[in-house]
Amino acid sequence: MLRIDGHSFQNCSGVTRRSFLQIGAPLLGLGIADLLRLDSQAADAGRPVSSSKKSLIIFWTDGGVSQQDSYDVKPDAPAEYRGMYQPIGTSVPGIALSERLPFQAKVMDRLSIVRSVHHENGIHAPSAHWMQTGYFGPTLARNAAQKPSLGSVIARSLGSRQPPMPAYVTIPKSESFGYQGAVYLGKAFNPFEVGADPNAKDFKVPNLSLPNGLTTRSVDSRRTLLKTFDTLRRDIDETGVMEGLDTFKQQALEMVAGDRMRAAFNLNAEDPKVRDQYGRHRYGQSALLARRLVEAGARCVNINTGNWDHHNDVEKGLDEHLPPLDR
């Protein structure tokens, strides 16, 4: 008896194409394996492979940080142009930050403020598209993404440093008007979405969870089960694209049940003192998770820090967001 996700079949001849697609997830995610296959196809098509060990972590502050209240306090400007917070000195003579950024002020000698990065648009949608992709974007009336995000370009150009770690990850999910995706580069280069708050007590990555009814032990037995569908796979795809699917399913298995992915996302493995240093809040634990993912092989991690559009009460908003960002 073959039973998968509540469906029973006496033999494989009773499996329809629709049923095959429906049981894809219990068979450890054709979705993940399919993305891996697409990534491989892109590589075969000429995508360059890089041995660079560099990675990028982005803190995306959707809506924009008030610059005169954070990194450009303008202490010598007229009162109407200065920020509402007092400036404080930093470890670099001549550079002042907002009083709400004391930790960053102490390590300013290890940081860089690039004030020449800017755009000349006051509308959120096209501005976000500009900053996420490098290209001026659509208006709010028609805000579909037109260009791939920086993370997707990195994923396509460089790939993961250590498979099966994904090249591009968003924490907790993709935001910013949907401008963090791959667009015409293909779904293989969309970000892997963590899908949960790393600071939550029960933090768990949904995309790495086994389907209901499956255990790590039962996963191993499904490796043999997958071979049962060889004939059906050939019937579904006569082009030969799926002939090597077992390889990608193996990689998908490593993502779902492998030690590297599971270890990278296990924040409980960190020393509690280290977690305290990062801050026991969404910002801090997201930053810690991003560091762990980069160390495990991710190329680009985009941390979405929530809404910074503080027009209604800028002081309340910045008092809430600047201290955790400072950590």
β-strands 87-89, 168-171 pairing: unpaired
Using one digit for the tens of pLDDT, what is the confidence trace for 171-196? 998 876 778 999 999 888 999 999 89
Q: How confident is the model at residue 141 (pLDDT cuts 50, 70, 90)?
A: low
What is the pLDDT averaged over residues 36-54? 58
Q: How far is Cα 115 from Cα 77, in angstroms, rounded to an integer?
A: 16
Query: Cα separation of 166 and 191, whole Å?
Result: 8
- Which one is predicted more confidently, 20 or 312? 312
Q: What is the pLDDT of residue 43?
A: 52
For residues 178 and 210, is the Cβ–Cβ distance under 8 A?
no
Contact predicate 194/171, CB 8 Å: yes
Give dist(CA 133, CA 150) in Å, integer: 5
Res. 7 pLDDT band, cuts 50 70 90: very low
pLDDT band at residue 326 using 50, 70 and 90 as cut-offs:
very high
Determine the Cα–Cα distance for residues 105 and 115; give it in Å rounded to an integer.
17
Phi, psi of 292 (to 5 degrees): -65, -40
Q: How many C-beta atoms surround the C-beta of residue 210 within 10 A?
A: 15
pLDDT of residue 2: 36
